[in-house]
Amino acid sequence: MAPREVRQPEVARLAALLLALVLVLPVAQAGHTALVAGAFLVELLSQGRYAPLSALTSAPAREALAVPGVAADRYVPAGLGAGRRLVLVHGATAEGKDDPRLREAAELLARSGFDVAVPTVPGLTRGRLRPEDVGAVVATLAARPGPAVVLGVSVGSGPALLAAADPSVRDRVSAVVSLGGYASALEVVRFWLTGTYEYGGVRGRVARDPRLVGEFVRANADLLDPRARAELMTGDPERAARFLAALPPDLRRYLDSMSPLGVAREIPGRLVLVHGRGDPTVPYTESLRLAAARPGNTTLLLVGILEHVEGGGGRTGRQDARDLFELWRAMYALLAG
């Protein structure tokens, strides 16, 4: 989903980088792709306050996409014929495919040249996720000829990655991008309930808002017996930790079924993991975990200029410039195919 804020020095640095790239790249098509990749980042990170991509391109057409059993839209790039196909999977939002920030991001991707399909994942509109929700992404991939890039945002990376590994459609997937996503459903639930995270030598703890814990427990009440619901509704991280240490077998199997970690090596093509170092919603250790499970043909980008999936979160300076350059390289590679 589209970012909310960006610092002006970052945009200035990226604009200078774009000019340098256009001047030094000798091949016209490569120069055009470099320019589009940079213009996309400037507009996305500034929430449209700077709009070079919109100035360079015509607005895409938005139309309903016929996917059996799934509400989906298609964003068709203007004047480019059939663009490179991309499936965009939203995070937790009550509006699904109609979330305004998601629509803005889909339009920018289409302006970049992608033919974008956006399905609604029903569970994510209710703050929950079930194995059948992966079917919405699988059906969208099956309804369109491949190959396609699959882009999952936040917890939407779960069904995105699981669908990409599905044997019925994985031959239609050329690359997968996870933005602020997770590897282990158990570990991300642990973070949401207790505020703790850990992988390898990285560990930490953040304070959890009991109201948000309560909302999560209510959304998933069907998975819990009355006693467990009452324990977790207190918002006490110690009680939650004890519950997670002795999970019922059925609940553990469910969490395993929703974990991309279990299918990491079956994900086809290139895998790009982008995560904010200070992400308050899904800890960046989740991308570390997934990258370790699937090291081949995987790119891991940990950046300070993102918080969760929004711009903003770090300090200014050389590190931000490096972060922008790495994001530009990743976007350039996707556009170049």
* Tens of pLDDT, residues 40-87: 988 888 778 889 999 989 999 999 999 999 999 999 998 755 679 999
Report the Cα 253 to chain-centroid distance in Å.
24
| Tokens representing residue 17 in the block | 């980088």
* Tens of pLDDT, residues 246-299: 999 999 999 999 999 999 999 999 999 999 988 889 999 999 999 999 999 999
Q: Are 2 and 101 in contact (CB under 8 A)?
A: yes
* Pairing, β 173-179 against β 270-276: parallel
The CA distances from residue 188 to 57, 210, 282, 285, in Å, are 39, 16, 7, 10
For residue 110, which of 146, 58, 160 has the smallest C-alpha distance?
A: 58
Mean pLDDT of the chain: 88
pLDDT computed for residue 150 by the predictor: 98
C-alpha triplet 278, 120, 155: angle, nearest 5°: 20
Cβ contacts of residue 140 below 8 Å, gap of 6+? Answer: 65, 67, 70, 72, 87, 117, 119
Q: Please, which pLDDT band fits residue 317 given cuts at 50, 70 and 90? A: low
* Pairing, β 72-76 against β 84-89: unpaired
Percent above pLDDT 70 for the chain: 87
* Pairing, β 270-276 against β 148-153: unpaired
Quote the pTM value. Answer: 0.89
Q: Please, which pLDDT band fits residue 26 given cuts at 50, 70 and 90? A: very low
Q: Please, which pLDDT band fits residue 322 given cuts at 50, 70 and 90? A: confident
* Tens of pLDDT, residues 113-135: 999 999 999 999 999 999 999 99
Domains of the chain: 8-184+259-336 (3.40.50.1820), 185-255 (no CATH)
Report the Cα 217 to chain-centroid distance in Å.
23
| Tokens representing residue 153 in the block | 């945002």
Q: What is the mean pLDDT of residues 17-26?
A: 49
Cβ contacts of residue 201 below 8 Å, gap of 6+? Answer: none
pLDDT computed for residue 18 by the predictor: 52
For residue 137, which of 116, 119, 158, 110 has the smallest C-alpha distance?
A: 119
C-alpha triplet 146, 150, 155: angle, nearest 5°: 150
- Name the β-bridge partners of 202: 199
pLDDT computed for residue 14 by the predictor: 55
Burial code of 178-198, b = ≥16 C-beta within 10 A, e = fewer?
Answer: bbbbbbbbbbbbbbbbbbbbe
